[in-house]
Amino acid sequence: MSKIDPKLFSAHEHALEKAYQVCPKCGGELVHRQSKAGPFLGCSQYPSCDYKRSLHSNDHSLEKRLPGTECPECGEEMMLRQGRYGMFIGCSNFPECQHIESAQPKTEETKDIRCPSCSKGSIVARQSRYGKTFYACDAYPKCRYAVNDKPRAETCPDCGWELLVEKQYAAGMFKICPQKSCNYKEKIED
C-alpha cells in the first residue's frame, strides 16, 4: 500500500486570501459576476460605476488572409474567418466594407436556381448552427430569402412564383409553392 503525500492537502498560505483587483475607472473593487453572455468582472460600485471586463477572450481563433482574392465591393483582400455560425469569407476592410461569402462551395443541385426574391443571387444549400440544411440566397445579407425544403427551378402554375420546393409527406413526394398565400401542391411521379 502506498503512502499519500500530505503536501497534496496542505493549502498554500495565500490560497484562501481574496485577490482584489482594482477598477480602472473609480478605484473600487472588481467582483466576479455572471450574465447570459458568461462570467465577467464588474465594479462593486455598480450602478454608479459601470466598468466591466469579460473573463473570456473573444478573439477570433481563425483569421487567415486569402492571397489572390479580391472583394467585389471594395477591392481589398478577402479573409477566411470563424464566426458564430461557422466559417465564412469576409472582406479584410471590415467594418468599412461588410461583404461576406459562404466558405462552403455551391452544391451542384442548386447552383442554377435564381433567387425569386431579389433575382440577383442564386439559391445555395447552407447549414444552420445546429447542422440542419436549408436553402438561401447567396446575396445575403442584402437578400434574406430562405426555404427549408429542397428547391426546384420551376415556376408555380397558380401564382407565378419562380421557385417550387420538394416536400415529403406520408402519401409521397410533392412539389409545392413556398408562398404562404398559394396552395399549389402536386405529387411527383417516380
Task: Give a yes or no: residue 108 inside a domain.
Answer: no
Task: Give a yes or no: residue 89 inside a domain.
Answer: yes
pLDDT of 17 reads 45
Task: Give a yes or no: residue 31 inside a domain.
Answer: yes
Task: Give a yes or no: residue 98 inside a domain.
Answer: yes
Domain total of the chain: 3
CA distance linking residue 63 with residue 60, whole number of Å = 7
pTM for the full predicted model: 0.46
pLDDT of 174 reads 92
Look up cell 477598477; give the residue: 23
Whether 48 and 87 map to the same domain: the answer is: no
Helix (H) or strand (E) holding 146: strand 146-147
Task: Give a yes or no: residue 45 inside a domain.
Answer: yes
**Cβ distance 154 to 173 under 8 Å?**
no
pLDDT of 111 reads 60
Q: Quick one: DSSP state of residue 9?
A: G
pLDDT of 147 reads 92
Whether 44 and 69 map to the same domain: the answer is: no
Task: Give a yes or no: residue 117 inside a domain.
Answer: no
Task: Give a yes or no: residue 116 inside a domain.
Answer: no
Whether 174 and 128 map to the same domain: the answer is: yes
pLDDT of 60 reads 47
Whether 85 and 31 map to the same domain: the answer is: no
Whether 18 and 40 map to the same domain: the answer is: yes
Task: Count Cβ neighbours within 10 Å for each residue of 98-117 and write b for 16 or more, e otherwise.
Answer: ebbebeeeeeeebeebebbb
pLDDT tens series, the chain, 190 aa: 667 777 666 655 555 445 568 888 888 888 888 887 778 888 988 889 988 887 766 554 567 888 888 888 888 898 888 776 677 888 888 888 888 887 665 544 556 788 988 988 889 888 887 778 899 988 888 899 999 999 988 899 999 898 999 998 888 899 999 999 999 999 988 6
Domain that holds residue 70: 63-102
pLDDT of 37 reads 72
| 163, amino acid identity | L
Task: Give a yes or no: residue 2 inside a domain.
Answer: no
